[in-house]
Amino acid sequence: MMQRTLNILAEFGESIRIATAAIAANRVRSLLTTLGVVIGVTFVVLMGWFLDGLDSAWEHTISNLGYEAIYIHKFDWTGRTPWREARKRPPITIRQIRTAMTQLTLAERAYPRGNAWGQTVRSADNSIGGIAVIGTTSDNDWEVANSIEAGRFLAPIEDLTASYVAVLGYNVWQELFPNQNPLGQTIFYRGKKFRVIGILKKRGTLISDWGDNSVYIPFRVFQLLHSTNFSNYTLVVKAPSQALLPEVTEEARMVMRKVRNLAPWEPDNFSINSIDAFEQQVRTIRIAIWGIGIGMTGLSFLVGIIGIMNIMFVSVVERTREIGLRKAVGAKRRAILLQFLIEAALLSTAGAVIALLLSQGAIAGAKFLLFPGDLDFTASIIPPHLMGIALLVAVLVGILAGFAPALRAARLDPVEALRYE
Amino acid sequence: MNTLIHLENIVREYQMGEEVVRALRGVTLSIEPNEYVAIMGPSGSGKSTLMNIIGCLDTPTSGQYFLEGEDVSDLDDNELAEIRNKKIGFVFQTFHLLPRYTAVRNVELPLIYAGVPADERYERAVAMLAKVGLGDRLFHKPNELSGGQRQRVAIARALINNPSLLLADEPTGNLDSRTGTEILALFDELWRQGNTIILVTHEPHVAQHANRIIHILDGQIQKEESKTSSIPV
């Protein structure tokens, strides 16, 4: 047993030395051989890196929205109800929202919200377009509780008295007040002056940055600025806890049906949106990335395996005499098999190391050169677990690719092999 | 009972396409420890096949081969490898050194497959190279050594695991006559130190170094010569 362990250790060490020497002796050939593995591992790593980022961005979004809230709106945010169909629904009016709010008993809070997309706001010197102006009440404060950079959110009194005050999302205040303190400054929206009372931290990501491109104003002000047939109102209902969300949702549905005079046989003519809906969108993105990624990765690993297998067969033929000699002086089949498997695995691992360096370069390039700021949800260094996976996959690919050549080498007849010219 | 090698009616046949070639047609032979034997014969006589079987590189089609009393005629690949590793040291006409390895690493090779730890391997290889007169060439690679030096490295490798038998196949075939003489002198010396040596050759003057000459022709032992003592001391 002891002797056997020693044997395997000695053979293992020898195999690694042989493999490194063999790879070093044919650097260019080895490099080209590992191209498939390099591409494959690069795909895996970049894919994993992006999905990791997506996950953390998603957690971030959840912290913005929260699992406890539902958003009752004319449209379905994920498109489960086709837009054409939802368009025919009667608008959700402020009156309906106010009535519903008085009838909800289980909710922790319920409040109205109006969203005006594609708006332009100005400061004295700058302007920003394509932003969302959100009219809401102080009850909306929970959504931005952790995101106040300076100042404060809307106060109850400001809604009651329809004060012209505004809370600015990150991109908005960055754009309007680049080198100044925005608090107390004036912005212009729809010809009215608003005093800035709060600014928000960066919350958004490449996937959803509307949070950074928005301005919060009191709901009553919003109402005054928009015509009576403006219809983009949402009833936000927040449950006391996530566990109570189903009951709260069900009550809200019943209340809304009553408020909108639906007969029992009629379907809901509104949508109850929740974080689940977003979750499904994120899931769809994930699946799409995986689908493309796995296809590409599989293909490149196949190329990698074939490349390494081919070069290993060549290597076995080139070293026939060496194999014969090793067998003559006592190398068993196992030792020869191990030697070539390790060489293949090392070749493949070298490819993975190159791929890791390339990926790291690509990540740095994408984050800091191509999309500065937009990829902030991703890590700047390849996460360690991905490195582990990449190296493991490379070793497996190497062993898979090296097995047939190694077996051929191990089975060579020593007499024939020694005589090989 | 302490016979080193006993071959009993060894037959070795090869399938060459349709034809069966009988390389050995019933060879019976015994060799005692510390004998110095030359196997002679023209090419195609079967002497290489005989050497391969004695060296456990090949197994007979029929017949029995006892090496130190153990029947090795039916062992599998791995068992034969172990026997070769422990009991047989090979010296080849073309040296068969690994070109990328230094002399020390080449000599260490059999010990790697014997599972000897690295530092012990190194020490033994250095000592063995000194013994064959290459103490100052330890870290030279084969292409930095002369033919005679290469063959000395190969001999050191053959001896490193204290084999029961040194098997040399035309060891002077690739050397000029002066270097060849030196190598043969080294074999003589090794024999005097107690090693058992089998030389395979077709050159009579090489065979003259042995104290027993076995002539092979057409796969059979044609005749044997014995001398009371080997040549020149």
The ipTM is: 0.94
- Calpha distance A279→B216 (Å, rounded): 86
Q: Does the beta-carbon distance from B57 to A21 stay under 8 Å?
A: no
Q: What are phi and psi of B205, to 5 degrees?
A: -70, -25
Q: What is the structure's pLDDT at B230? A: 47
CA–CA min distance B27, chain A (Å): 20
Ramachandran region of residue B175, left (φ > 0), alpha (ψ -120 to 50) or beta? beta
Q: What is the structure's pLDDT at B13? A: 93
Q: CA of B85: which chain A residue's CA is closest? A: A330
CA–CA min distance B170, chain A (Å): 14
Q: What is the structure's pLDDT at A64? A: 63
Q: pLDDT category, A28, cuts 50, 70, 90?
A: confident
- Calpha distance B188→A238 (Å, rounded): 100
Sequence spans of domains, chain B: 33-59+77-226
Ramachandran region of residue A262, left (φ > 0), alpha (ψ -120 to 50) or beta? beta
Using a pLDDT cut of 90, give the percent of chain A over it.
45
Would you list which residues of chain A are within 8 Å, Cβ to Cβ, of chain B?
3-4, 6-11, 13-14, 21, 25, 321-322, 324-335, 414-415, 418
pLDDT higher than 70, residue A206: no
Mean per-residue pLDDT for A414-419? Answer: 92
Q: CA of A336: which chain B residue's CA is closest? A: B113
**Chain B residues in contact with A416 (beta carbon < 8 A):** none
Scan for tokens 């809070």, then name that residue: A109
Q: Which residue, B113, B29, B128, is CA-closest to A18?
A: B113
Confirm or reject contact between B118 and chain A (CB < 8 A): yes
pLDDT higher than 80, residue A231: no
Q: pLDDT category, A373, cuts 50, 70, 90?
A: low
- Calpha distance B130→A23 (Å, rounded): 32
- Calpha distance A57→A208 (Å, rounded): 9
Contact A34, A350 (CB under 8 A): yes
Q: Order of strands across the sheet with B36-40?
A: B88-91, B165-169, B197-201, B36-40, B212-217, B220-226
- Calpha distance B127→A419 (Å, rounded): 30
Rounded (to 5) percent helix, strand, coil in chain B: 35, 30, 40
The three-state secondary structure class of A223 is helix
Q: Which of B96, B120, B150 to mutate to test the interface with A (most CBs of A within 10 A)?
A: B96
Secondary structure tally for chain A: helices H, strands E: 14, 10
CA angle, residues B152, B162, B182, in degrees to nearest 5: 25
Sequence spans of domains, chain A: 2-61+280-419, 69-273
Q: What is the structure's pLDDT at B1? A: 47
Q: Which residue, A230, A286, A254, A218, is CA-closest to A51?
A: A286
Using a pLDDT cut of 70, give the percent of chain A over it.
95
Which among A331, A332, A414 has the least Cβ separation from residue B57?
A414
Q: In the numeric block, which tokens belong to residue B163?
A: 């084999």
Q: For B164-218, how does the pLDDT look when each residue is reduced to its tens digit (9 = 90+)?
A: 999 999 999 889 999 999 999 999 999 999 999 999 998 999 999 999 999 999 9
More confident residue, A286 or A404: A404
Q: In the numeric block, which tokens belong to residue A383?
A: 């996460």
Q: For A95-118, how does the pLDDT look when each residue is reduced to its tens digit (9 = 90+)?
A: 999 999 999 999 999 999 998 988
Give the number of other Cβ atoms within 10 Å of residue A420's Cβ: 13
Q: What are phi and psi of B117, to 5 degrees?
A: -60, 155
- Calpha distance B105→A13 (Å, rounded): 13
Q: In the numeric block, which tokens belong to residue A147?
A: 């995101």
- Calpha distance A381→A48 (Å, rounded): 12
Residue numbers of chain B with a pLDDT score lower than 70: 1, 228-233
- Calpha distance A178→A127 (Å, rounded): 11
- Calpha distance B12→B49 (Å, rounded): 8
Mean per-residue pLDDT for A380-400? Answer: 89
Q: What is chain A's mean pLDDT, rounded?
A: 87
Type of residue at A389: I
Which among A9, A25, A325 has the least Cβ separation from residue B100?
A25
**Chain B residues in contact with A11 (beta carbon < 8 A):** 112-113, 115
pLDDT higher than 90, residue A30: no
Q: For A236-262, how does the pLDDT look when each residue is reduced to its tens digit (9 = 90+)?
A: 999 998 889 889 999 999 999 999 999
Domain B33-59+77-226 homologous superfamily, CATH = P-loop containing nucleotide triphosphate hydrolases (3.40.50.300)
CA–CA min distance A18, chain B (Å): 9
Which among B52, B82, B98 has the least Cβ separation from residue A330?
B82
Q: What is the structure's pLDDT at A16? A: 85
Q: What is the structure's pLDDT at A62? A: 66
Q: What DSSP line would sit under B16-69, residue for residue?
A: ETTEEEEEEEEEEEEE-TT-EEEEE--TTSSHHHHHHHHTTSS--SEEEEEETT
* Cross-strand partners of A274: A70
| DSSP H stretches of helix in B32-176 | 47-54, 77-87, 103-113, 118-131, 147-159
Which among B55, B81, B92 has the least Cβ separation from residue A331?
B81
